[in-house]
Amino acid sequence: MYQAFKKTVSLGLATCFLAGTALAGPADIRPHRAIYTLKLDKAKSASGVVGASGQMFFEWADACDGWVIEQRYRLKMAYNEADELNLNISFVTWESKDGSRYRFTVKKWNDGELTEELAGTARTRAGKSGEATFTQPERSKFDLPRNTLFPSAHTIAVLEAAKAGQNFFAKPVFDGGLMEGASDVTAGIGAVHAGDAAATDPLLRARWWPVRIAFFNASDAGEPGEGTPTYELGMTLLENGIARGMTLDYGDYSVKATLDKLEALPRQKC
């Protein structure tokens, strides 16, 4: 889950997040639908933010030839010296299971008014550079660096790194959430934790890792892990690809996402 709110609010995991090109590796992703409650976690007085509340819908579905991810965000931001801001984002993507092809459609609303619409496709080739093509709001192309990952491939790669005992993973990632090329993304991975055998939902009994992901503008990052990230995403990431909880940290303030509802989706027999 990778796609995230891009600065004012970007979930570009995110959502979404987490090289290869193989998605058919050992990671056992569980297609699922989840709903998270969004709340202000903390804010510095200089940020002007005094409140945040909303909801995030996330669905990771198996489409045989690829993964289909749908994310919807609704967030109300309150400020001490400005009017409230009501933000809505819709993010729908398809990604081939070999990680080589990607399609995306993004819509953003501000106080009910459609303010931005992005759409396009992207391709990568193992060990070679790739290309992203935007068709909305205007036709534009961006080169993608070698080993660029798309969101599902990145999530799976982070899980594989965690299972191998790695503490750090860095790759360029492209999700289409902004009209630009790939961003540099680094992941810090903590120690593995045993699953909660007492969890009512069997989906939540998988072992898990604390993961901290930092997103950099490619032009600012320098070497992987250097520079100041645009924002950071902390999460409890289960072995099956489900995020039990997340915190989106923008430096001056952070927003917490708490899992409220979870539903397993069918595995396709292709």
Q: What is the pLDDT of residues 192-218, one digit of tens each?
A: 999 999 999 999 999 999 999 999 876
- Model pLDDT for residues 89-120, shown as the tens digit of each residue: 999 999 999 999 999 999 999 999 999 999 99
Q: Alpha-carbon distance 6 to 107, whole Å? A: 13
Q: Which domain holds residue 148?
A: 2-264
Name the E strands within 16-167: 32-43, 49-62, 66-79, 85-96, 101-110, 113-125, 128-136, 140-144
Q: Alpha-carbon distance 226 to 179, whole Å? A: 23
In a domain, 147, yes or no: yes
Asked if 51 and 185 touch (Cβ cutoff 8 Å), the reply is no
Query: 62, 14, 18, 15: which is closest to 162 by C-alpha?
Result: 18
Task: Give the distance, in angstroms, between the CA of residue 30 and the centroid of all CA atoms in the same chain.
Answer: 16
DSSP 227: S
Name the region of 31 (left: φ>0; alpha: ψ -120 to 50; beta: rest). beta
In a domain, 199, yes or no: yes
Number of domains in the chain: 1
In a domain, 270, yes or no: no
In a domain, 269, yes or no: no
The confidence score (pLDDT) of residue 267 equals: 85
In a domain, 88, yes or no: yes
Residue reference for tokens 């995991």: 13
Q: Is the pLDDT of residue 41 over 90?
A: yes
Q: Alpha-carbon distance 30 to 101, whole Å? A: 21
The confidence score (pLDDT) of residue 128 equals: 82
The confidence score (pLDDT) of residue 15 equals: 45
Residue reference for tokens 């600065």: 7
Asked if 87 and 73 touch (Cβ cutoff 8 Å), the reply is yes
In a domain, 259, yes or no: yes
In a domain, 127, yes or no: yes
Whole-model pTM?
0.86
Q: Alpha-carbon distance 19 to 148, whole Å? A: 8
35: β partners? 57, 261
Name the region of 252 (left: φ>0; alpha: ψ -120 to 50; beta: rest). alpha
In a domain, 32, yes or no: yes
